[in-house]
Amino acid sequence: MKKIATISALVLAICIVFVSCDNKRKPGKIYMPDMAYSRAYETYAERDSNKFTTDPSLRGTSKIFYNNFPAAGTIKRGELFPYTLPNDSNGYKMSATVNNPLGTLTDAELAEAGRLYNINCAICHGEKGQGNGPISTSGKIGGIANFTLDMYVKMADGTMFHSITYGRNLMGSYASQLDRKQRWMMVKYIRSLQPKAVDANAKPAADSTKSKIK
């Protein structure tokens, strides 16, 4: 009799252990944590520091962390020069004088620009740039630019770049998602979506390549 009690208690205990382990909110257990967790800092890993700043102007109690920003003034290989106009109304006006540093895009570059456009822009501005992406047509955000309108056909390349870089009205800055070259490519791609410019001031749109976009 005693034996049965022991056995059934054992079975019960095993069952409880395994049922309680089956919690999907917990990450579970691992063996050999020293092999599973990185000794080096991993992306997004929480870090701590035992060094503190001594400079009182830098709030003396702050901890010093490894600064993973590139040194000021450095430019990534293959990246365009920094855009220096400030994010204010004056900078917006001045932006019209900035020219697109890119020449005519090759087919492959334009296809890549179109791919990036469809990822980042088409969700609001629509695949054809008519301001009718899914977010726009469902009425979630209003005031979305229709690039085929006259005012956007006449808008200078630099002003478009300025708006993509800093954001405009409800649109946010896309500087963290698209690097400078990609942003200028985006301007070129938007030009290819527009009807041919009627204004002499506007840059001739890259119409010759238009038919090649899917």
List residues binding other proteins (CB under 8 A). Answer: 1, 4, 7, 10-11, 14, 18, 21, 24-31, 35-39, 42-44, 118-120, 123, 131, 134-136, 138-146, 150-151, 167, 169-174, 176-177
Residue among 189 and 206 whose Cβ is closer to other proteins: 189
Helices (H) and strands (E) in the chain, counts: 9, 0
Smallest distance from the beta carbon of 85 to other proteins, in angstroms?
19
The DSSP 8-state label assigned to residue 87 in this structure reads: S
Smallest distance from the beta carbon of 187 to other proteins, in angstroms?
18
Smallest distance from the beta carbon of 173 to other proteins, in angstroms?
7
Residue among 83 and 147 whose Cβ is closer to other proteins: 147
Smallest distance from the beta carbon of 168 to other proteins, in angstroms?
10
* 3-state class percentages of the chain: helix first, strand second, coil last, to nearest 5: 45, 0, 55
Residue among 100 and 120 whose Cβ is closer to other proteins: 120
Question: Any residues with CB less than 8 A from the CB of 44 and at least 6 apart, and which?
Answer: none
Smallest distance from the beta carbon of 178 to other proteins, in angstroms?
9
Buried b (16+ CB within 10 A) or exposed e, 154-169: ebbbbbbbbbbbbeee
∠ CA 131-134-136, rounded to 5°: 45
Residue among 42 and 207 whose Cβ is closer to other proteins: 42
Residue among 65 and 104 whose Cβ is closer to other proteins: 65
Distances (CA, A) of 13 to 3, 5, 20, 23, 178: 15, 12, 11, 17, 56
